[in-house]
Every structure is written in structure tokens, then in C-alpha cells.
């Protein structure tokens, strides 16, 4: 379930601009005559959503309790506050009450539902219609004997303490056992038995011979009082990862001058890579210093070596997976940093280039710099053509990529110092020039149910830069609503790693991929190595992009067809990589240049 506040509307009030589909602004007018009459400007009196929080009722509740929320809106005031709970095993939220005056509270008869773990939230709406969801608060409802097994988390390693808590046992002395089963099976085996002293703690040795590395397990606890057994809710999909990642430091070369690229390769089959620290050690010392920490592939960074004293250095990488297992790479030794004579580097303008692109070089020389020349060549060739020559820092120029054919190009910079000596940068290779008229323009998602978690009624919208030939998406398609399948895959299941869960679209009839490309959600929306498929509908409509008619494809999620392990992802900007199989109305293929979700960072779905 979602755990962070969700603001459904955030408006920046700009005179003369109205947000489509949002609460209306007050009128803005300007009156003037040649007689210098007065002029007035007015704007909306409320452009901010309310704030709201639900008060924690305590770790355990029973009978009838009062649930209170705190809400405020400094502009238009609070119209109402809805207080809700999410019950164990429920499909959605249940409203307890709607309060219109402070204090915003209501009585909750906990006996009306089952015992177990509940989430509480409040939804505040102000007097112009802006709405905010509070953070969620968790509590245990225990009106009867209740057994609760602590959740050790999605991923575990080493020895893990599993604690069982028993509520309403009275003077009885329960005997507690903890069991495990491979996820997806019903064969339960004992992990700990005859626990009789609270807290009922079971130590789970995940490295034991009974357990398989990389396997997921379900856990449960059972309390026995006399002849009565009471079992906890099952803690599902707990992944064991006791294996450290593999990591290799890439040789950065020697000598190193100016801004250089440092990189490592790292993999982890189970939990996934959380971060890679790139470190240096100066010769004759024992201290390793981290100079950058990439958290996603490629594990690399650009580092200005002029920040270090000239000399001989060693480099290494330390990879850490999501559960904390760490591995240090072999050391790359005897790399020389020498910035005393001259250095020049070509900054990477990006993997995909179109239109007019700014090319930048950094250069330094103790003899002084006369000029820096930026050159291009077709990838893999040695015929270099000058793009520009600059004589002063910053060394930049504009490259009109429409003047060359689409394809892969190499870039470099050549510095000439005041003595006439030249230094050539490392080549930035295989940058793709792509000026295809049809491109991906934007990707957006909207929340229909639980915020941040894929669920029925959520939508995914793919906007192209112009109109497309719909039959290149689906044979015979005219844009009307058609049934499809939306597939969500964990990054490992999709052949990647890290926070890179992906979505693609399949035909409902045979499960083959529809050529809409892939959407990298840049987050964790499904548990490790899991796949889920949603029944969905797809419809195409016209929209306007930069004054031109363009195609908008909207996918609306329906029921979960198969799979498990769904969870809420953090706020991120999605990246859509379209397919070249889609064409415009004249048959020109779509660019495969990825596009990042427009707008402010938000929680998707």
C-alpha cells in the first residue's frame, strides 16, 4: 500500500494561463485608455492544496476507538476530511466517516472487521477542490487472540530475528512455533518450535543448509493454547541473498589528464546492485578515497583529475547490493595523473543528438592555450571534419546536426597551446544523430486507485510528436478501444538490474509484443524477479504538440490477469524508448531516441 503523501493537484498560478481540467482561476483583466485610466490585475485566491495528517491511534487497538486527523488550508479553508482504513486482504479503502468541522474525528468500531494489520489515512479537500492524501498510519486490530509475525523485509541475509507478538492471550501460556515454505508452495516446515517466553524470538539462519540462495520464502507463526491453534498472517516473498555482487574496475588508462571517465561493471543476481563506489589511492599511502558513487548503470562518472596532485594512483570499485552485501574489485595500479603540461577532454553531449547541439570541451595547459578545435567523424572512420575552433574558455560551439546524415558519429577535441603543440582528447564515440520527424514526445501515468502502485483504472499515456499510422501499431487498428495486456516486469526479470522495472504492451489474443517500445519506470513496482500482467484497453486520440496534430495512445489498466508481488514505487521520472516499427502517415519510421517524462518529479500510478 502507498505510504507517502499524494497531492492530487499542484497548480502554479500564472496570469493568462489556465490549467485544463483543474479548478478555475478568477478572471484576470487589464483596462486602459489613452486617458491613462487605472488598470487592475487579479488572480486565483487559492493555488495550493491543503495539508493533512492522521493521528496515530497506537500500536494496538480494539473495541471502538476515536480516529482523529489534523488538516489546514491557509487560503480557502477545509471543506471536508475523509478518514479511511485498509483492512487485511481487502481490495481497497473503506471510509469510516467524513468530517466537515474541526476536530476532524470519528468513532471506529474495530469489531466490525477482522483482526489484523490495518492502515489508516485521511483525505482533505479544500473549498476550491484541491485534495491531499495523508501519510498512512499502521495499527493492529486485536479484539480476539491475535498472532503477529514481524516482517523481516523483502530481502534478508545472515541470521535474522523473527519476533512473534501475541495479543489478548490473558493468563494463558501459549506455545509458539515459526514455520517456512518456499513461496508458491504449501509445504510448511518448522523453523523454531516450543517458544514459550515473550518476546517469542526465532533466529533464522538464512545461510543454513535447508535454504536455497536466491529463493523466496513465506513465513508464518502459530500459537497453541491447549488444543487451539491460532496462526498469523503469512509474510510472503522474502528473498534470501547471502551472495555478494561481482564487480570489475575498468582501466581508465594512463596518463590521465583533465576530466576523465571512470567506470566499473557490477552484477548481482538476486537483490540487485544498490551502488558502486569508485575509489582512488595515491601511491605510498594506505587511504582509499571515494570520488563518485553511481547508483544505476552504467556505473561511471566524469571526474576532474586536476583536483588531485600529479602522481601515481591506484583505482578500485566497491559494489554493494540492496541487502548490504559488498565486494571490492581487483585494483588497477600505476595509473599516472599528469596535468602539468596539457590536457583536453571532449564532453559527452549525450547518446542521442538532434537539431542544433552544443559541443563543449575542457582544456588546460601550463604553456597557455591558443585554441581548441572540435571535430567530428563518421563512427569507426579516421576522416575528421572541423565543427568549430574556439580561442577562449569555455570552449563551445553549436553543431547543426541536420546538416549531416543520420547515423553514428565520433567526436573529439584538439588543443593547440601557445607553443604550437597539440593535444588530442579521448574520442567520444558512437553518438547517434537522429533527426527523424516522428519521435516520442512524452510519457505520463495517472493514479486510479492506490497511489504509486499499479492497479485497475490506472492509465499510461504515450504521446508522439505527430500523427502516426495506427496500423503499424496493430494491424487494421483505427484507434478505437481494443483489448491488450500490460506486462510489468522486475528489472532482473527483464534482463536488467537496479531500480529499472519495465512495462511493455502485448496483444490480448496471443501475447506477442505490440511495437510501442518499453517504458522504464525508474523504480521498484514489483518484487524481485517477478512478472505481472494486467488486462487493459488501448485507445488512440488526437492531441496537439507544439502546435501540430499528434497521436496520444492511452492504456487503461483493468484486472490483474496473472502474477504477484506488486508494491508501491517511489517518485521518479519514467523513460519511454519507442519502437522504429511505428511510422508516421507518410511511412517514415519513428526515432528510437528515449524520452523522459515531462513535468515535476511525481509518484506514478
Q: In the predicted model, what is the mean pLDDT of residues 509-536?
A: 93
Q: What is the pTM of this model?
A: 0.55
117 - beta bridge partners? 140
| 586 and 458 assigned to the same domain | yes
| 22 and 167 assigned to the same domain | no
Q: Report whether 521 contacts 445 (CB < 8 A).
A: no
Residue 559: inside a domain, yes or no?
A: yes
Domain extent for 203: 146-240
Residue 1: inside a domain, yes or no?
A: no
**Mean pLDDT score of the chain, rounded to an integer?**
89
| Long-range CB pairs of 68-73, under 8 A, 24+ apart, other chains included | 68/103, 68/104, 68/105, 69/99, 69/104, 69/105, 69/122, 69/124, 69/134, 70/104, 71/102, 71/104, 71/122, 71/124, 73/46, 73/48, 73/49, 73/124, 73/126, 73/127, 73/130
Q: In the predicted model, what is the mean pLDDT of residues 167-193?
A: 93
Question: Residue 588 — pLDDT band, cuts 50, 70, 90?
Answer: confident
From 92, 123, 139, give the residue that closes a domain.
Answer: 139
Question: Residue 114 — pLDDT band, cuts 50, 70, 90?
Answer: very high
Q: What percent of the chain has pLDDT over 90?
A: 74
| 33 and 57 assigned to the same domain | yes
CA nearest to 48, candidates 21, 22, 81: 22
The pLDDT of residue 43 = 52
| 319 and 358 assigned to the same domain | no
The pLDDT of residue 141 = 95
Q: Which residue has the higher pLDDT, 411 or 603?
A: 411
| 56 and 10 assigned to the same domain | yes
SS3 label, residue 225: strand
Q: Which residue has the higher pLDDT, 27 or 478?
A: 478
Q: Which residue has the higher pLDDT, 152 or 342?
A: 152
Residue 603: inside a domain, yes or no?
A: no
Q: What would the pLDDT profile of 562-578 be if each residue is shown by its tens digit?
A: 999 888 878 889 999 99
From 139, 163, 178, give the residue that closes a domain.
Answer: 139
| DSSP string over 311-344 | EEEEEEEEEEETTS-EEEPPPEEEEEE--SSEEE
Q: What would the pLDDT profile of 1-31 be if each residue is shown by its tens digit?
A: 444 333 333 333 333 333 333 333 333 333 4
CA nearest to 414, candidates 342, 338, 341, 307: 342
Q: Residue 178 and residue 219: Cα distance in Å, rounded?
A: 7
The pLDDT of residue 34 = 43
| 375 and 492 assigned to the same domain | no
Q: What would the pLDDT profile of 454-477 be if each residue is shown by its tens digit?
A: 999 999 999 999 999 999 999 999
The pLDDT of residue 71 = 96
Grid coordinates 533466529 are at which residue?
A: 203
Residue 71: inside a domain, yes or no?
A: yes
Q: In the predicted model, what is the mean pLDDT of residues 99-115?
A: 94
Phi-psi sector, 111: left (phi>0), alpha (psi -120 to 50), beta: alpha
Q: Which residue has the higher pLDDT, 588 or 109?
A: 109
| 458 and 584 assigned to the same domain | yes
| 201 and 184 assigned to the same domain | yes
The pLDDT of residue 25 = 37
Residue 483: inside a domain, yes or no?
A: yes
The pLDDT of residue 38 = 53
Q: Report whether 260 contacts 305 (CB < 8 A).
A: yes
Find the CATH number of the domain harbouring 83.
2.60.40.10
| 457 and 584 assigned to the same domain | yes
Q: What percent of the chain has pLDDT over 70?
A: 92
- The 3-class SS string of 471-510 reads HHCCCCCCCCCEEEEEEEECCCCCCCCCCCCEEEEEECCC
Q: In the predicted model, what is the mean pLDDT of residues 417-437?
A: 88
Residue 602: inside a domain, yes or no?
A: no
| 234 and 298 assigned to the same domain | no
Residues near 189 by beta carbon (within 8 Å), at least 6 away in sequence: 179, 180, 181, 210
Q: Which residue has the higher pLDDT, 450 or 29?
A: 450
Q: What would the pLDDT profile of 128-177 be if each residue is shown by its tens digit?
A: 999 999 999 999 999 999 999 999 999 999 999 999 999 998 888 899 99
Provide the number of structural domains found in the chain.
5
Question: Residue 40 — pLDDT band, cuts 50, 70, 90?
Answer: low
Residue 306: inside a domain, yes or no?
A: yes
Residues near 219 by beta carbon (within 8 Å), at least 6 away in sequence: 149, 152, 162, 178, 179, 180, 191, 234, 235, 238
From 213, 240, 267, give the residue that closes a domain.
Answer: 240
Cβ neighbour number for residue 570 with a 10 Å cutoff: 15
Question: Residue 385 — pLDDT band, cuts 50, 70, 90?
Answer: very high
Q: What would the pLDDT profile of 230-288 be if each residue is shown by its tens digit?
A: 999 999 999 999 999 999 999 999 989 899 999 999 999 898 999 999 999 999 999 99
Q: Residue 225 and residue 164: Cα distance in Å, rounded?
A: 15
The pLDDT of residue 498 = 76
Q: What would the pLDDT profile of 200-228 be if each residue is shown by its tens digit?
A: 999 999 999 999 999 999 999 999 999 99
Residue 585: inside a domain, yes or no?
A: yes
| 77 and 57 assigned to the same domain | yes
| 118 and 35 assigned to the same domain | yes
Amino acid at each position: 500500500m502507498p505510504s507517502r503523501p499524494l497531492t492530487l493537484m499542484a497548480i502554479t498560478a500564472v496570469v493568462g494561463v489556465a490549467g485544463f481540467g483543474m479548478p478555475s482561476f478568477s478572471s484576470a483583466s487589464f483596462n486602459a485608455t489613452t486617458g491613462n485610466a487605472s488598470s487592475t490585475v487579479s488572480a486565483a485566491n487559492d493555488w495550493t492544496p491543503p495539508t493533512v495528517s492522521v493521528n496515530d491511534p497506537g500500536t494496538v487497538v480494539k473495541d471502538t476507538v476515536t480516529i482523529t486527523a489534523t488538516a489546514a488550508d491557509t487560503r480557502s479553508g477545509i471543506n471536508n476530511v475523509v478518514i479511511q482504513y485498509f483492512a487485511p486482504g481487502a481490495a481497497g479503502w473503506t471510509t469510516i466517516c467524513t468530517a466537515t468541522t474541526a476536530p476532524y474525528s470519528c468513532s471506529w468500531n474495530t469489531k466490525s472487521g477482522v483482526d489484523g494489520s490495518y492502515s489508516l489515512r485521511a483525505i482533505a479537500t479544500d473549498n476550491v477542490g484541491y485534495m491531499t492524501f495523508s501519510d498512512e498510519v499502521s495499527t493492529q486490530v486485536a479484539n480476539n487472540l491475535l498472532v503477529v509475525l514481524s516482517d523481516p523485509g523483502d530481502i534478508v541475509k545472515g541470521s535474522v530475528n523473527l519476533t512473534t507478538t501475541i495479543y489478548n492471550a490473558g493468563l494463558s501460556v501459549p506455545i509458539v512455533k515459526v514455520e517456512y515454505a518456499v513461496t508458491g508452495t504449501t509445504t510448511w516446515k518448522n523453523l523454531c518450535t516450543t517458544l514459550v517466553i515473550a518476546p517469542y524470538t526465532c533466529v533464522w539462519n538464512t545461510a543454513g543448509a535447508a535454504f536455497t540462495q536466491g529463493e523466496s520464502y513465506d513465513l508464518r507463526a502459530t500459537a497453541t493454547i491447549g488444543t487451539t491453534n491460532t496462526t498469523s498472517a503469512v509474510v510472503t516473498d522474502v528473498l534470501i541473498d547471502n551472495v555478494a555482487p561481482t564487480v570489475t574496475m575498468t582501466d581508465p588508462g594512463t596518463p590521465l589528464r583533465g576530466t576523465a571517465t571512470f567506470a566499473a561493471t557490477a552484477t548481482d543476481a538476486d537483490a540487485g546492485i544498490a551502488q558502486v563506489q569508485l575509489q582512488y589511492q595515491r601511491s605510498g599511502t594506505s587511504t582509499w578515497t571515494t570520488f563518485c558513487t553511481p547508483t544505476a548503470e552504467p556505473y561511471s562518472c566524469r571526474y576532474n583529475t586536476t583536483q588531485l596532485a600529479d602522481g601515481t594512483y591506484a583505482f578500485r570499485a566497491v559494489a554493494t547490493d540492496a541487502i548490504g552485501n559488498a565486494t571490492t574489485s581487483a585494483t588497477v595500479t600505476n595509473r599516472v595523473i599528469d596535468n602539468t603540461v596539457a590536457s583536453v577532454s571532449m564532453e559527452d553531449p549525450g547518446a542521442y543528438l538532434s537539431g542544433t547541439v552544443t559541443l563543449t570541451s575542457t582544456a588546460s595547459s601550463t604553456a597557455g592555450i591558443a585554441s581548441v578545435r572540435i571535430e567530428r567523424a563518421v563512427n569507426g572512420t579516421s576522416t575528421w571534419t572541423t565543427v568549430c575552433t574556439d580561442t577562449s574558455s569555455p570552449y563551445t560551439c553549436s553543431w547543426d546536426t541536420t546538416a549531416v546524415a543520420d547515423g553514428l558519429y565520433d567526436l573529439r577535441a584538439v588543443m593547440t597551446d601557445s607553443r604550437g603543440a597539440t593535444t588530442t582528447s579521448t574520442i567520444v564515440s558512437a553518438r547517434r544523430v537522429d533527426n527523424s520527424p516522428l519521435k516520442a514526445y512524452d510519457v505520463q501515468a495517472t493514479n486510479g486507485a492506490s497511489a504509486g502502485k499499479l492497479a485497475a483504472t490506472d492509465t499510461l499515456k504515450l504521446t508522439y510528436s505527430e500523427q502516426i499510422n495506427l496500423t503499424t501499431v496493430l494491424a487494421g487498428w483505427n484507434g478505437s478501444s481494443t483489448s491488450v495486456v500490460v506486462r510489468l516486469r522486475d528489472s532482473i526479470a527483464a534482463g536488467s538490474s537496479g531500480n529499472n522495472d519495465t512495462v511493455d504492451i502485448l496483444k490480448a489474443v496471443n501475447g506477442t509484443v505490440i511495437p510501442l517500445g518499453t517504458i522504464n519506470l525508474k523504480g521498484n513496482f514489483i518484487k524481485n524477479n517477478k512478472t505481472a500482467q494486467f488486462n487493459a484497453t488501448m485507445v488512440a486520440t488526437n492531441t496537439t504538440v507544439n502546435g501540430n496534430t499528434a497521436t496520444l495512445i492511452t492504456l487503461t489498466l483493468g484486472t490483474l490477469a496473472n502474477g504477484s508481488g506488486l508494491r508501491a514505487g517511489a517518485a521518479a521520472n519514467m523513460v519511454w524508448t519507442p519502437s522504429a516499427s511505428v511510422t508516421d502517415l507518410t511511412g517514415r519510421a519513428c526515432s528510437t531516441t528515449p524520452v523522459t517524462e515531462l513535468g515535476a518529479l511525481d509518484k506514478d500510478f
